[in-house]
């Protein structure tokens, strides 16, 4: 009984949260972006830790956050897990904030930020890619992820799925304000199986 109530609560919180993201997100062209755009909504620090743990991030990883915002995921990966990382972010003010965050945390050597459209990002060296975007943007990214990531690379998405790709793991994490956050993980399969055209 308790478990049912708990899952109902998760479901309604996630719906409410998605609506909140929907309210603040705008699809459409913006200056400097050639694809759909998602507004800045930072991931709660506890959720950042949970998503990095879900990815199994360690010192040998190279974490890429597509739409890095103020850099908190890449900086936490470097500071707390010793991983190298790059955040791609279209908004120059957020890129400056991210670089400042890396400086303050003393991880500028590990955590870098590039002002660039995430669809133009070079993902070939990434072993972990993190996303907090929109469902339709995630689906648009599928061919790029399959083409550029090596087998075994992990993809973690906050809140949204990847179309009909079934996650290998999903976790629900409660933040200090009581919101539940859905985190999904996928892994890139071996090349022989990686023939999905991304539809």
Ligand X SMILES: C[S@@+](CC[C@H](N)C(=O)[O-])C[C@H]1O[C@@H](n2cnc3c(N)ncnc32)[C@H](O)[C@@H]1O
* Of 56, 2, 6, 25, nearest in space to 172 by CA: 6
Residue 196 CB, nearest distance to ligand X (Å)? 23
Check: CB of residue 63 under 8 Å from CB of residue 40.
no
Q: Are strands 84-89 and 62-66 parallel, antiparallel or unpaired?
A: parallel
Q: Return the number of other C-beta atoms located less than 10 Å from residue 153's C-beta.
A: 22
Residue 1 CB, nearest distance to ligand X (Å)? 35
Q: What residues from 164 to 193 belong to the interface with ligand X (CB under 6 A)?
A: none
Nearer to ligand X, 13 or 190 (CB): 13
User: Using the rule CB under 6 A, is 91 a contact of ligand X?
Assistant: yes
Nearer to ligand X, 68 or 188 (CB): 68
Q: Are strands 84-89 and 111-115 parallel, antiparallel or unpaired?
A: parallel
User: Using the rule CB under 6 A, is 69 a contact of ligand X?
Assistant: yes
Nearer to ligand X, 73 or 149 (CB): 73
Alpha helices of the chain — where are they, by DSSP H? 2-24, 45-55, 72-81, 92-105, 135-148
User: Using the rule CB under 6 A, is 83 a contact of ligand X?
Assistant: no
Check: CB of residue 179 under 8 Å from CB of residue 17.
yes
Candidate ranges 37-45, 76-84, 168-176, 186-194; the one touching ligand X (CB under 6 A): 37-45
Candidate ranges 40-48, 98-106, 166-174, 175-183; the one touching ligand X (CB under 6 A): 40-48
CA atoms within 13 A on the CB side of 186: 24
What residues make contact with ligand X under the rule CB under 6 A? 33, 35, 37-38, 40-43, 65, 67-69, 72-73, 88-91, 94, 117-118, 132, 158
């Amino acid at each position: 009984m308790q478990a049912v109530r708990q899952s109902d609560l998760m479901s309604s919180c996630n719906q409410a949260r998605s609506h909140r993201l929907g309210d603040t997100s705008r699809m459409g062209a913006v200056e400097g972006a050639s694809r759909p755009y998602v507004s800045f909504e930072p991931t709660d620090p506890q959720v950042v830790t949970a998503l990095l743990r879900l990815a199994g991030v360690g010192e040998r990883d190279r974490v890429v956050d597509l739409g890095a915002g103020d850099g908190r995921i890449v900086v936490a990966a470097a500071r707390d897990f010793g991983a190298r990382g790059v955040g791609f972010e279209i908004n120059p003010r957020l890129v400056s904030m991210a670089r400042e965050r890396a400086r303050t945390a003393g991880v500028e050597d590990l955590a870098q930020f590039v002002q660039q459209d995430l669809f133009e990002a070079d993902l070939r060296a990434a072993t972990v890619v993190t996303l907090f975007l929109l469902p339709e943007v995630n689906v648009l990214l599928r061919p790029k992820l399959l083409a550029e990531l090596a087998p075994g690379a992990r993809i973690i998405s906050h809140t949204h799925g990847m179309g009909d790709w079934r996650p290998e793991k999903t976790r629900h994490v409660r933040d200090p304000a009581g919101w539940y956050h859905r985190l999904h993980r996928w892994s890139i399969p071996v090349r022989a199986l990686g023939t999905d055209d991304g539809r």
